[in-house]
C-alpha cells in the first residue's frame, strides 16, 4: 500500500482539521508533539502529513506533492487550483467581505480603490457589479489601508468582525462564505482512489455526526 500524502494548514485550523482526521481513523500521534518538524508518517495506516502555510496547501495538492489537503474556500477561489473539492469540512467558518470606514459613501464618479490580498475574488466581484476599480494588492494589515487613504474599501476575511470594529470599519457587502474544504489532486484521485474515497467517506460521516 502506498502512503497517502496529506497537506494540512499550519495553525489553529490545521490542528482542528487534524483532530477530525484522527477521529476518522487517520491519526498520526507524532504530529502534535512539540518541535519544528514538518513531515510526519504513520506506518500503521499509511498516512503522511505535512504542515504547510495555509495559502500553499492548494499549490502542494495541485502539483501532486500532496495527494489531498485542506484549504479554505477563499484560497480555492483566489488561486483557482485545478483540483477536486471533495468535501466541505464545516470548520474555520468566516466570510470574504467588502469593508469600509463607517462614513464611507461610494462616489461612483471615481474609480473605486480596493485594497486586498484577494485580487481575483475582488476583481470578479466588482466585474459582476460593473463597478470600475483599481486593485491595491497588500499582504497584511489590510485594515489600515482606508484609514491611511491608500484605498476606499478593503476586501478581506471577516471572522468575528472585531478587527474591523477596532479600526472603525464596517461591512459594506458580503462576497462569499468561507469554510475549510478537503481537496484532492486529480491524478491522485485516479491512482489512490480507494484510499481517498475511503478517507472522504469517513470524514463525511464524522462531519455528519458533529453536525
Give the one residue of 31, 83, 100, 203 binding another protein; rule: CB under 8 A.
Answer: 83
Could you give the angle at the alpha carbon of 59 between the alpha carbons of 56 and 64, nearest 5°? 130
Distance CA 49, CA 18 (A): 9
- Minimum CB distance to another protein smaller for 23 or for 88: 88
Contact mark string toward another protein, 101..120, x via CB under 8 A: --------------------
CB-count burial class (<10 Å; 0-12, 13-18, 19+) for 113: middle
Task: Confirm or reject binding of residue 188 to another protein (CB under 8 A).
Answer: yes
Give the one residue of 24, 58, 68, 87 binding another protein; rule: CB under 8 A.
Answer: 87
Shortest Å, Cβ 72 to another protein: 14
Q: Hey, what's the cell of 183? A: 481537496
Shortest Å, Cβ 189 to another protein: 8
- Minimum CB distance to another protein smaller for 185 or for 195: 185
Burial 169-191, CB ≥16 within 10 A → b, else e? beebeebeebbbbbbbbeebbee
Name the DSSP class of 111: P
Task: Confirm or reject binding of residue 62 to another protein (CB under 8 A).
Answer: yes
Task: Confirm or reject binding of residue 50 to another protein (CB under 8 A).
Answer: no
Task: Confirm or reject binding of residue 201 to another protein (CB under 8 A).
Answer: no
Give the one residue of 15, 23, 41, 88 binding another protein; rule: CB under 8 A.
Answer: 88
Shortest Å, Cβ 138 to another protein: 21
Q: Hey, what's the cell of 8? A: 494540512
- Minimum CB distance to another protein smaller for 83 or for 153: 83
Size of the site for another protein (CB under 8 A): 18
The answer to whether 85 and 77 have CB atoms below 8 angstroms apart is no
> Within a 10 A sphere around the Cβ of 100, how many other Cβ atoms?
22
Q: Which one of the spans 6-14, 22-30, 82-90, 142-150 is the region binding another protein (CB under 8 A)?
A: 82-90
Q: Which of 80, 33, 27, 72 is nearest to 53 (CA)?
A: 72
Interface residue list for another protein (CB under 8 A):
62-64, 82-88, 177, 184-188, 190-191
Amino acid at each position: 500500500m502506498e502512503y497517502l500524502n496529506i497537506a494540512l494548514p499550519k495553525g489553529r485550523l490545521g490542528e482542528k482539521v487534524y483532530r477530525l482526521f484522527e477521529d476518522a481513523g487517520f491519526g498520526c500521534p507524532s504530529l502534535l508533539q512539540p518541535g519544528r518538524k514538518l513531515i510526519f508518517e504513520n506506518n500503521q495506516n499509511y498516512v503522511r502529513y505535512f504542515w504547510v502555510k495555509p495559502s500553499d496547501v492548494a499549490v502542494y495538492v495541485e502539483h501532486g506533492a500532496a495527494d489531498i489537503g485542506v484549504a479554505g474556500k477563499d484560497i480555492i477561489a483566489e488561486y483557482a487550483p485545478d483540483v477536486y473539492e471533495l468535501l466541505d469540512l464545516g470548520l474555520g467558518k468566516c466570510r470574504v467581505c467588502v469593508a469600509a470606514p463607517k462614513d464611507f459613501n461610494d462616489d461612483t464618479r471615481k474609480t473605486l480603490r480596493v485594497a486586498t490580498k484577494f485580487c481575483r475574488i475582488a476583481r470578479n466581484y466588482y466585474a459582476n457589479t460593473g463597478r470600475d476599480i483599481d486593485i491595491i494588492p497588500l499582504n497584511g494589515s489590510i485594515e489600515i489601508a482606508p484609514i491611511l487613504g491608500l484605498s476606499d474599501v478593503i476586501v478581506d476575511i471577516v471572522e468575528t468582525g472585531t478587527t474591523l470594529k477596532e479600526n472603525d470599519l464596517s461591512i459594506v457587502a458580503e462576497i462569499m462564505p468561507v469554510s475549510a474544504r478537503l481537496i484532492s489532486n486529480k491524478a491522485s484521485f485516479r491512482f489512490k482512489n480507494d484510499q481517498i474515497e475511503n478517507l472522504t467517506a469517513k470524514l463525511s460521516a464524522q462531519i455528519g455526526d458533529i453536525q
